[in-house]
Amino acid sequence: MKLTGRDAARYFDRPDTGAAGALLFGADAMQVSLKRRALVENLVGENAGGEMRITRISGPDLTRDPAALLDAVKAVGFFPGPRAVVVEGAGDSHVACIASALDGWQPGDAAMVLTAGNLTPRSKLRKLFETAPTAFAIGIYADPPGRETIIAALKKHGVAEIPHDVILDLEALAQSLDSGAFSQFLEKLALYKRGDSTPLTAADIAECAPMQPGAEADALVNLAADGRADDLAREFARLGGQGATATGLTIVAARHFRTLHAASLDPSGAETALARARPPVFGPRRSRMAAQVRNLGLARIETALDLIMDAELRLRSGRPTPGLALVERLFVRIATLGRR
């Protein structure tokens, strides 16, 4: 039986224990692995691995011993409770032994969870599960998790109160991270909120979100955008000692001010625009950048972008240039724009 969309999501959350199992397939191996882990956990419980109620068989092992799958399905475990047989790397070459296991499966036997790569509609293995009355075929695609999936994952870890605007932030972050990184972020967020019954906030997300590359340079660019020229010399000395490059700093500055520029042009307001940015901006950082938009205004932001472009051209001209000194002077000039 083929499962898609909400039916598939419901199955992962509350799997049918009266079925023989499921085939999970897709090009994104990380997403397939995460879905397989969640499904097995919901089928047999979190402690099943320690209680030896999970049997794992690789594709090559199944090739060498085709009877291993049916034997594992029929085996009686030492510990009481539901059992699962996980087959990783299944393919069309295993169809005969998998079909035999499906035909021989009976209620009370171990559930089968098979994973495979990207299977075309012509795949024999995919067709076997799509037409089986007691098993499911579920395609796992590289789409970011949707709202329902995110809410369910957080509620499972005890994070119950999630305001609408925070959900929008989470959806935006899911768009900018790969599946593995976003899954780790949700686990970190749940641990961060453990024992805290207050509603989830954008500041909580900002605390737990993965640090973007160039975070140290971002802090220095923020000083310039905030108009804090007096603090720039000290921060430049510290950052220069860490191996920062002039070109790298101008790249970070250009990205920052392009984001401010887009936010200043958005009719829905700077806060909303920054939430929709890629990568999205969260919590105190979003408030800070929105304040920069209001303080500088469109004309000064465009002036800053012109100054950054001029600095980039000088750095790439091939002429000997004291790079960090040039960029420090650039940032000081930007910092003084808000005073005019």
Residue 215's pLDDT band, with cuts at 50, 70 and 90, is low
Residue 214 has pLDDT above 70, yes or no: no
Task: Please report the pLDDT score of residue 123 as a whole number.
Answer: 95
Q: Please identify, among 85, 111, 139, the residue that sits at the C-terminal boundary of a domain.
A: 139
Shared domain check, 110 and 62: yes
Asked if residue 87 lies in contact with residue 21, where contact means CB atoms within 8 angstroms, the answer is no
Structural domain boundaries enclosing 58: 2-139
Please check whether residues 131 and 156 belong to one and the same domain: no
Domain count for the chain: 3
Output the pLDDT for position 9. Answer: 81
Mean pLDDT of the chain: 86
Cα separation of the two ends of the chain: 68
Q: Which two tokens stand for residue 121?
A: 């509609």
Tell me which of 93, 121, 139 is where a domain ends. Answer: 139
Q: What is the pLDDT of residues 43-93, one digit of tens each?
A: 888 777 766 888 999 999 999 999 999 999 998 877 788 899 999 999 999
Which residue type, as a one-letter code, is found at position 52?
A: M
Distance CA 94, CA 115 (A): 12
Share of the chain above pLDDT 70, in %: 94
pLDDT in tens, 7-51: 888 888 888 888 999 999 998 888 898 889 889 988 888 777 766
Residues 194, 245 share a domain: no
**pLDDT, tens digit (0-9, with 9 covering 90-100), for 84-117:** 999 999 999 999 999 999 999 999 899 999 999 9
60: CATH = 3.40.50.300
Q: What average pLDDT score do residues 310-336 get?
A: 87
Task: Please indicate whether residue 138 or residue 239 has the higher confidence score (pLDDT).
Answer: 138
Asked whether the predicted pLDDT for residue 318 surpasses 70, the reply is yes
Last residue of a domain, one of 120, 139, 158: 139
pLDDT band for 219, please (50, 70, 90 cuts).
confident
- Residues 269, 330, single domain; the answer is yes
What's the per-residue H, E or C state across 38-73?
Answer: HHHHHHHCCCCCCCCCEEEEEHHHHHHCCCHHHHHH
pTM for this model (two decimals)? 0.58
Phi-psi region of 223 (alpha: psi -120 to 50; beta: other; left: phi over 0): alpha
Together in a domain, 106 and 184: no
pLDDT per position as a tens digit, 245-291: 888 889 889 999 999 999 999 988 888 888 778 777 877 788 899 99
